[in-house]
Chain A
């Protein structure tokens, strides 16, 4: 599969940030009280994610490894500020509804996670699509939660009310409802068996992380898996080489010793001969 479309599918389904990776829980739980808020938050995050992924990918060879996290955060914060100013100018109602959660996109784990795990190691185009896929996956998750909470709690979809006021279950608009809806949707997702680390028993190479939680090293993309495997192979090779070298050295030392002994013997023999 083309790496760009693969990235899209990975972000939306295989490693859906909301239902599979459980990242970015703070905005997920806080702003999904209605479908519009969920959609707005998701799309805002998507925009930031694409831009930050592209720029981090462009700068990946410039940013020193030791200060990469502060560098990523500066890049992300720049884009978040841009987006927030744009929202204030053109979508003031959405800006008001999302409130403090827009500046908080800076510390959203999805964005830093993608920067660290993917964009800082891959070319620009796949990184952009990785951001798009992850962002759309996040948008999909948030909108689903928002729709469920809005129907149950406010009897409406995208603001169009169709259930009378008396039959609203306010619980679902409040925080506990967010936890409940998220857990139910995640359970349904697991039941539907979208293959993911949470419902595959043994190592399945189709899953980005390898599916084996027991031996997980905490990375979550194919690229990282490859990287980790390459690293391990290199380590093994280095160990083997070192062993071989040590063996060769030992052999050489032995040979040298034998030679020295032989020489000594020869010398002795020669001196013996001389004395004779």
Chain B
């Protein structure tokens, strides 16, 4: 009888979604961007990705073993953190620094606060900001001498390309932007971190996640829309869609909006809260990019908004069915 009758409280709707399936979906969705990064920047990018993923998984394994916690390495969240971190690094980034960053992401940002589900900010972005503060020189040097695919696609025989990201060049005014340049930024044959250059590959991955319903549209759409409005008003270029498109395709905006900001643990669960979160992200990114000293501000915008999530959730708790119109305490 007990096998036939299963009495339990709600929720009764079951789904095959699990932490593991979500993590592997996101890993799969990031594959195009990662592959393009390897194509663009050569074998060094692959080495960096492997090193980050392995050291993240290893540090999670060692921590959980040492602390006597249940092993959750196989759910793929540590591997995903490693991949995110690698995609946020320049392909020339020293290996040992990448290992320190991975250990920081897993041990300090994630495990010290209680592991998956308890971390208050995105571990990969926390580590990226840690590396940015610690090794500013290496983090912002985008020289890539073995940029195989880049040389092939740009049609030039270059031994080394060294220089700022397109976003930085737009900011300091050293680049005359045209639509051809914007197209290059959309395809990804520019300088930058491993995973951020190709908006096209990131959009393919994002479409996969949206179709699989792993992420909702609310955060990315509100984020991008708010940023667009903010940029058109304060950007200093007037109503210029070319500059807006360049801002969208350059830097980590696509990677941040679709993959980092939508992290389940560090984004609001309430629908209204997700909209507020997206707007906050857009405004902060706009402020950092337009008025900040650095050309990029996505990672700082996301971790600051991560810290606001408990507050956002507190004020956007949905009203239970049947309680509409009933005010608190009345």
How far is B133's CA from A172's CA once the two chains are assembled, in angstroms? 9
- By a CB distance below 8 angstroms, the chain A residues around B136 are 170
How far is B135's CA from A176's CA once the two chains are assembled, in angstroms? 15
Q: Does A171 contact B (CB under 8 A)?
A: yes
Q: In the bound complex, do residue A174 and residue B133 qualify as a contact, i.e. CB atoms below 8 Å apart? A: yes
Please report whether the interface of chain B is mostly helix, strand, loop or mixed according to DSSP. helix
- By a CB distance below 8 angstroms, the chain A residues around B133 are 170-171, 174, 176
How far is B130's CA from A172's CA once the two chains are assembled, in angstroms? 10
How far is B133's CA from A180's CA once the two chains are assembled, in angstroms? 14
Query: Chain B nearest CB: distance from A12 CB in Å?
Result: 28
Q: In the bound complex, do residue A170 and residue B135 qualify as a contact, i.e. CB atoms below 8 Å apart? A: yes
Q: Which of B109-165 contact A (CB under 8 A)?
A: 130, 133-136
Q: Which of B185-235 contact A (CB under 8 A)?
A: none
Per-residue B-contact encoding for A159-195, CB less than 8 Å = 1, 0 else: 0000000000111101010001000000000000000
- By a CB distance below 8 angstroms, the chain B residues around A170 are 133-136
Q: In the bound complex, do residue A169 and residue B108 qualify as a contact, i.e. CB atoms below 8 Å apart? A: no
How far is B202's CA from A116's CA once the two chains are assembled, in angstroms? 62
Q: How large is the interface on A (under 10, 10 to 19, 20 to 34, 35 or more residues)?
A: under 10
Q: Does B23 contact A (CB under 8 A)?
A: no
How far is B305's CA from A249's CA once the two chains are assembled, in angstroms? 70
Q: Which residue of chain B is the closest to A167 with respect to CB atoms?
A: B96
Q: Does B170 contact A (CB under 8 A)?
A: no
Q: Which residue of chain A is the closest to B138 with respect to CB atoms?
A: A166
How far is B130's CA from A169's CA once the two chains are assembled, in angstroms? 9
- By a CB distance below 8 angstroms, the chain B residues around A169 are 100, 134-135
Q: Which residue of chain B is the closest to A169 with respect to CB atoms?
A: B134
Per-residue B-contact encoding for A138-173, CB less than 8 Å = 1, 0 else: 000000000000000000000000000000011110
How far is B101's CA from A171's CA once the two chains are assembled, in angstroms? 12
Query: Chain B nearest CB: distance from A7 CB in Å?
Result: 35
Answer whether A180 and B100 are a contact pair too, CB < 8 Å, given A170-B133, A174-B133: no
- By a CB distance below 8 angstroms, the chain A residues around B130 are 171
How far is B12's CA from A215's CA once the two chains are assembled, in angstroms? 45
Q: Which of A225-269 contact B (CB under 8 A)?
A: none
How far is B136's CA from A174's CA once the two chains are assembled, in angstroms? 13
- By a CB distance below 8 angstroms, the chain A residues around B100 are 169
Query: Chain A nearest CB: distance from B90 CB in Å?
Result: 16
Q: Which residue of chain A is the closest to B94 with respect to CB atoms?
A: A166
How far is B130's CA from A180's CA once the two chains are assembled, in angstroms? 12
Query: Chain A nearest CB: distance from B187 CB in Å?
Result: 35
- By a CB distance below 8 angstroms, the chain B residues around A176 are 133
Q: Which residue of chain B is the closest to A172 with respect to CB atoms?
A: B134
Q: In the bound complex, do residue B108 and residue A171 qualify as a contact, i.e. CB atoms below 8 Å apart? A: no
Query: Chain A nearest CB: distance from B63 CB in Å?
Result: 14
Query: Chain B nearest CB: distance from A134 CB in Å?
Result: 30
Residues of B within 8 A of A (CB): 100, 108, 130, 133-136
14 CB contacts below 8 A, A to B, read A169-B100, A169-B134, A169-B135, A170-B133, A170-B134, A170-B135, A170-B136, A171-B130, A171-B133, A171-B134, A172-B134, A174-B133, A176-B133, A180-B108
3 smallest A-B Cβ distances: which pairs? Answer: A171-B134, A169-B134, A170-B134
Known: A170-B136, A171-B130, A180-B108. 11 other contacts (CB 8 A): A169-B100, A169-B134, A169-B135, A170-B133, A170-B134, A170-B135, A171-B133, A171-B134, A172-B134, A174-B133, A176-B133
